[in-house]
Structure 1
């Protein structure tokens, strides 16, 4: 008799459980061009094909003393392949991949890359650090935010919060978001 009571109660408890909200996590990969394949190289710049999180393709290019990073199998055709902070810059050593389990398994939805910038290009001294948040949506992969890493003590948290909203940004029409404190260059 007790078993007849327990089974319906367990069924009700299982049905009443709320749907689990999407969770977010981070994974990190290195940006090491020595471990990448050279895609192009000439007097005007170079580009590389690099491995990313679980083999996710990463396209890195250099031109006019600026770095460009894009993602996915069509990385070179994405808007991100043409975007870079305006000052002369180079890349930090890591890519932070923001992962969401909203679709049933942790998948990359955005990246955060630290760009080291010079304001005027007059010397080798790094004068700024900007966290660039890039949305990962096939056909709509682009920069969605620039966070000044030196002017904001919570820069990483700001970048992650924006990255976790990835997927809603329209690369063609929405303006890149800047952190409230931004002194890395005139924007």
Structure 2
């Protein structure tokens, strides 16, 4: 390698912060339960002989990732896994909610594909006539112990909510330690969450 090229590469490495060598890119997948595989069903509450109704689904994510959705107590639960079955805890939003129609996957590009390090999805919530939406940010790790929802962005209180969630995903996901703590709020937070 020519000496001037080696010096330039070394200088560039000193200027770039750790983890900044590969910029994050994104891809989107649909999150429509009509196109997802039912993984669990049960008779309606109070009707032991009723026809089972689905309450959990596996939706195709990006690459080898799956998005698991569960509904219970009028709340949507979400989990990410490379496995075809999910047996661990779902992340439930604390208000009555459903999921939005898309998942954004973020990570560095390697070859023709993105290697997802984070995912962003939307909870659409309503309580007592009030409604809104929150972007949830998940770290995508090796397995269930280091894959978790770690951040929220109030999409009503922040006019730049999508850009803020993308920045948080890119800067925080790889450093986040999934340890069972509640997700952290980023940006402005509306009165419903204070």
SS of 2:188's partner is coil
Report how many residues are paired: 172
SS of 2:149's partner is strand
Partner residue, 2:4: 13
Give the conservation status (yes or no) of the 8 Å contact 1:149–1:155.
Answer: yes
Match of 2:55 among 27, 46, 51: 46
Match of 2:100 among 92, 96, 111: 92
Report the CA distance shift for 1:174/1:101 in structure 2 as closer, same or farther (over 3 A). Answer: farther
Partner residue, 2:78: 69
Give the conservation status (yes or no) of the 8 Å contact 1:119–1:184.
Answer: no
Partner residue, 2:161: 155
Find the structure with the greater CA-based Rg. Answer: 1
Gapped regions of structure 2 (runs ≥ 5): 14-19, 46-53
Gapped regions of structure 1 (runs ≥ 5): 1-9
Distance 1:127 1:54 in 2: 33
What's the TM-score once normalised by structure 1's chain length? 0.80
Distance 1:115 1:182 in 2: 15
SS of 2:6's partner is helix
RMSD (Å), alpha carbons: 2.6
CA shift for structure 1 position 47? 0.8
Deviations 1:5-64 (A, max 9, x none): xxxxx7223323235812101100000111111000113661111111124222111111
